[in-house]
Structure 1
Amino acid sequence: MSTGPVTITIDGPAGVGKTTLARGLARRLKIAYLDTGAMYRAAAWMLGPSAAEMQEEELAKRLDGMRFTLKGAGPDSCLLLEDRVIGEQVRTEEVGLLASSIAALKVVREYMKKSQQKMGRETSLVAEGRDMGTVVFPDASCKFFLQADAGVRAARRCRQLQEMGREADEQKILEQMRRRDVQDSERAIAPLVPAPDAVNIDTGSLTPEEILDRMAAIFADTGGRERL
């Protein structure tokens, strides 16, 4: 018998394949997909370049005016900010670096944590991010931590941008990823680290389908399917 919504967490650094795999797993399980990185990116994009220098009171006021909602399940999952779909405008490396900067601020993380936990109480979901298994959903049914060499991740990100018809400098992306890795792993609040009970997976040498098969099997072993 179900005892409430099921939560699966997928954490890891930028470019490791979290989005593709979280969407794929949500599709297989027919549950919602929550892109928490998009929440930080959307907030950074809305706040603007000066966000990292804002006073805590101003940040709190601006964040309180933002409302995130999650609709649909599987391939139809949709994250909205103020009832507007979060689009590709937040996917630039510059916005990503700003998002990483504001993510180190306590007032930002507390607001996002509350918003994410609220969505987790309302529906079963696959949540991807950087502290999902350690901070936001420490009691998640199943936790994964993805990793891959920075060079592999930069090349993957470069291909993604080119496929979207955008210019991409692989060396610049690599440098930005390394900077972000340092910011994320060394911040004082909720640093990027695997949860003690997370399953670690190196995505550099496996195909998405191979990884999804492994994730689905591990989730099934926890008895999670019976709760959906």
Structure 2
Amino acid sequence: MANKTPLIVTLDGPAGVGKSTLARRLAGELGVAFLDTGAMFRAAAFTLGEGSWDLPQGLLQQKLGDFDFTLRGSGADTELLLNGHALPAAIRGEETGRWASLLAVVPSVRAYMKMAQIYLGNTTSLVAEGRDMGTVVFPQATHKFFLDADPEERARRRCRQLEAQGKPADLKAIAESIRQRDDQDRNRSIAPLKPAPDAMVVDTTFLTESEVLEAVLDRVRGLR
């Protein structure tokens, strides 16, 4: 009996739009793994360090060759492991996020991450969230979504998230960081941030997390 083709659902969109939260909940509802591709880039940036995006391509390829990403569990309990180890909480910092955005435009890094993500999708049913999941990594996915929201609202959400974690939150600084990352992501020459032609675009500015989840679930269950 042939193996069942893994279910792939893609969630793309800019920073701070709520992709990770939605992806975890959606993966839980569907009983599949959650692939946080942003965490993959953050983990690489954190591990390689500041300025890694300026390293020679050959050296970067050599360093990335030592990376092995795997998934364990499903839904909100999914763990993304690097070389068998859980990722440190420090990768979620604003500085690491900026490093990851700079590293993400390097051709050798994108090529490696695409290969690693495709391998995970070929072997595991999952909800993949990121910047180019539906356009570049999983163009064959049946279920594609692009989440967006007003930049100021995204900055406020990020502030609330940091405050809930007991961390300092400067709305002005976070809003500026989001604007810079939007410019980098939307205008880069390699895989710029944009919806896939067949993606459902969801403006989350005035929607609750549950309302967004319901809209996405309705579409997935209607197509399956």
Shared fold (TM-score, shorter chain, > 0.5): yes
- Aligned 1:123-142 pairs, distance under 5 A: 123-142=124-143
Distance in 1 between the 2:15 and 2:130 partners?
Answer: 9
Distance in 2 between the 1:179 and 1:74 partners?
Answer: 31
Q: Report the equivalent of 2:40.
A: 39
Where 1:49 maps in the other structure, the secondary structure is: coil
Per-residue CA distance 1:208-228 (angstroms, 9 max, x = gap): 1111111111001111xxxxx
After TM superposition, give the deviation of residue 168 of structure 1 in Å.
1.2
Per-residue CA distance 1:33-90 (angstroms, 9 max, x = gap): 0000000000000010021211101110111111110111122211001111113210
Structure 2 segments unaligned to the other structure (5+ residues): none
Distance in 2 between the 1:87 and 1:209 partners?
Answer: 28
Structure 1 segments unaligned to the other structure (5+ residues): 224-228
List, as ranges, runs of 4+ consecutive aligned residues in structure 1 with deviation greater than 4 Å.
none
Q: Report the equivalent of 1:157.
A: 158
After TM superposition, give the deviation of residue 204 of structure 1 in Å.
1.0
Q: Report the equivalent of 2:181.
A: 180
One-letter amino acid matched to 1:87: P
Segment of structure 1 superposing worse, 145-154 or 80-89: 80-89
Distance in 2 between the 1:169 and 1:60 partners?
Answer: 36
Distance in 1 between the 2:147 and 2:193 partners?
Answer: 11
- Aligned 1:1-228 pairs, distance under 5 A: 3-223=4-224
One-letter amino acid matched to 2:125: S
Aligned residues: 223
After TM superposition, give the deviation of residue 174 of structure 1 in Å.
0.4
Segment of structure 1 superposing worse, 23-32 or 79-88: 79-88
Question: What percent identity do the matched residue pairs reach?
Answer: 50
One-letter amino acid matched to 1:200: V
Distance in 2 between the 1:121 and 1:60 partners?
Answer: 23
| Cα-Cα RMSD | 1.1
